[in-house]
Amino acid sequence: MFMGEYQHNIDSKGRIIVPAKFREGLGDSFVVTRGLDKCLFAYPMDEWKLLEEKLKKLPLTKKDARAFTRFFFSGAIECDVDKQGRINIPQPLRNYAALDKECVVIGVSNRVEFWAEEKWKTYFDDSEESFGEIAENLMDFDI
């Protein structure tokens, strides 16, 4: 399980340190792809395979299913951690998530997310204001 929040910088070559606490769970090689809310999602290979199987079951005849699958898989890349604990995020993914300098790396249960610091602050502030309402809406899911 991934949890926590870490501040890191991404360099001009697109390299960012993966927090040591996350590297063990992600493994030597893992998948990074476009996430929701303009961040990047990183999945360990076993989680990626489970997600891939679920997405394969979506009906090809449904426009939304095709669009989501394209969005998710076309941005996916397998990343390897270098000796300094960094990964290289390709330019198209950096552009999508607006990863420029200051970044936030967060653990979210079965995945890790990479956020541009300003986008994370805005998202967090907006969500914090409505956290009670969000929790109330999720009560049906036995949380």
For residue 17, give Cα distances in angstroms to 76, 126, 127, 142: 19, 27, 26, 36
Q: Give the orientation angle of helix 63-74 with respect to helix 45-56, to 10 degrees.
A: 160
Q: Which residue's structure tokens are 């076993």? A: 46
Please report, for the chain, the start and end positions of each structural domain, with discontinuous segments joined by +: 2-141
Q: What is the pLDDT of residue 130?
A: 85
How many Cα neighbours within 13 Å face the side chain of 136? Answer: 4
| CATH class, 2-141 region | alpha beta
| Cβ burial, residue 130 (10 Å; 0-12/13-18/19+) | exposed
Helix (H) or strand (E) holding 78: strand 77-80
What pLDDT score does 137 carry? Answer: 79
Residues of the chain with pLDDT under 50: none
Amino acid at the residue 4: G
pTM (2 decimals)? 0.93
Which pLDDT does position 142 carry in this prediction? 63
